[in-house]
Amino acid sequence: MNRKPSGRQYINYAFYKLSSNWYELTKNKRKNISQKLLNILENFEKKLTLNLYSTLGIRAECDFMVWRVSEKLELFEKMTHEIMNCGLGPYITLNYSFLSMTKHSQYVSKNKNIDQEGTRIRIKPKKRKYLIVYPFVKKVEWYLLSQKQRQKMMSEHIGTGHRYPSISINTSYSFGIDDQEQVVSFETDYPEDFLDLVEEMRSQKARAYTERDVPIITCIHKEVKDIKKIIS
């Protein structure tokens, strides 16, 4: 049975860590491998939506992150294979890889603002200076509530978010395809606004139904060409 394309996208946030052995290589060796990695990233920029971020000095377990968006899951596989085989493989570890998909939000669609993030099935990164990413899991009790009860709590959440226009949210869903249930990322030029937003949301009723929302990783946006500066 042939099906029409759904238009939905796969999302992947891949966090890489360089080993200490990487820095023991000669400068020329690192430069050569870094150029091969840059070539791979530039090639895949033509095939999927790709954004690069530095986490160097921010998280102990990762140095940079690649945010990938595509309608073809196999492109993530192919790209990762090429990265691991460009000479970088022995010196790098993929410490986190969050997989998700886009879908319409049942909660956002009930609100009046039809331009909200949850009404679209295609991710459009805004490339703001900072990106904050984390996986998200709700308690079983959340899903046993009525839709009306859940909507009331989520409307409170959504309303709070609207008071922080400097922050853009990208919500994607992992039910059945990865360990978490959602992956959320927030783009902003002002991390202090996100800190205040999260603090305000902590006291809302929906918070009682959160099972897990870590690790929370803050990333700095970079152009793809900057990968050589990050790792060499």
DSSP 108: G
Q: Is the peptide bond before 215 cis (omega within 30 degrees of 0)?
A: yes
Residue found by looking up tokens 């984390």 in the block: 134
Confidence at 112, pLDDT banded by 50, 70, 90: very low
Look at 27-31, 104-108, 194-198 and tell me which has the smallest mean pLDDT. Answer: 104-108
Mean per-residue pLDDT, 97-117: 73
Sign of CA dihedral 95, 89, 10, 124: positive
Residue 59 backbone dihedrals phi, psi, to 5 degrees: -120, 140
Mean per-residue pLDDT, 83-87: 98
**Is a pLDDT exceeding 90 seen at residue 232?**
no
Mean per-residue pLDDT, 190-212: 97
pLDDT tens profile 211-229: 999 999 999 999 999 999 9
Which residue ranges does the chain devote to CATH 3.30.70.1030? 10-100, 104-219
Q: What CATH number labels 104-219?
A: 3.30.70.1030
Quote the pLDDT of residue 106.
Answer: 84
**Is a pLDDT exceeding 90 seen at residue 27?**
yes
Q: Of 105, 88, 107, which is closest to residue 173 (Cα–Cα)?
A: 105
Quote the pLDDT of residue 117.
Answer: 53
HSE, side-chain direction, 13 A CA sphere, residue 144: 4
Q: Of 134, 222, 209, which is closest to residue 172 (Cα–Cα)?
A: 134
Mean per-residue pLDDT, 159-170: 96
Structural domain 10-100, CATH architecture: 2-Layer Sandwich (3.30)
Mean per-residue pLDDT, 62-69: 98
